[in-house]
Amino acid sequence: AVVRQRETAPFTTSAALVELLYAEIPAPARRTGGHPAKRTFQALRMEVNDELAVLRRAIPAAIDAIAVGGRVVVESYHSLEDRLVKQAFTAATRSTVPIDLPFVPEGSEPALRLVTRGAEQADDVETAANPRAASVRLRALERIAPSTTGAAR
């Protein structure tokens, strides 16, 4: 529908795009999840700002920059961001020692540990005071040993 509309005339206002989206989204789908155009505008913003690529670069840079005792804390507002953060944090805290080894040799422990078990979410009290907190997921990790890559020590 968007492509067909653009073939006849370009969108000159966001209201015109909202109107088209509202007309194209089936009524049952319009009743859930907030305004029908919300996800479309979110996707446009994410693509224009290259947000996922920026996040992919920022997380390793932040992890490399922290010294022992330093923490990286990330708030993600949707599942794509949260998946990237979870994967990066899991990889950063994973042990490189073979699973079948009965002990972890000294100096082979991961240099980072997860501070949060899973993602922290706002409770009902916080969400009531701040409805925007409902979608936020918070994850954190901490450097517990010097980096072996020569970055932050």
Residue pLDDT, tens place only, 53-82:
999 999 999 999 999 999 999 999 999 999
pLDDT tens, residue by residue, 9-52? 888 888 888 888 888 877 777 677 677 788 888 888 899 999 99
Residue limits of CATH 3.40.50.150 in the chain: 50-143
Q: Which amino acid is at 46?
A: M
Sign for the pseudo-dihedral over CA of 33, 34, 37, 41 = negative
Among the CATH numbers 2.40.128.20, 3.40.50.150, 3.40.50.720, 3.40.50.970, which is that of 50-143? 3.40.50.150
> What is the Cα–Cα distance from 96 to 110, expressed in whole angstroms?
8
> What is the Cα–Cα distance from 125 to 138, expressed in whole angstroms?
17
Strands 120-121 and 112-114: unpaired
The confidence score (pLDDT) of residue 153 equals 45
> What is the Cα–Cα distance from 130 to 121, expressed in whole angstroms?
13
Average pLDDT over residues 137-148: 92
Alpha-carbon distances of 43 from 22, 37, 40, 46, 48, rounded to whole Å: 16, 10, 5, 5, 9
pTM assigned to the model: 0.77
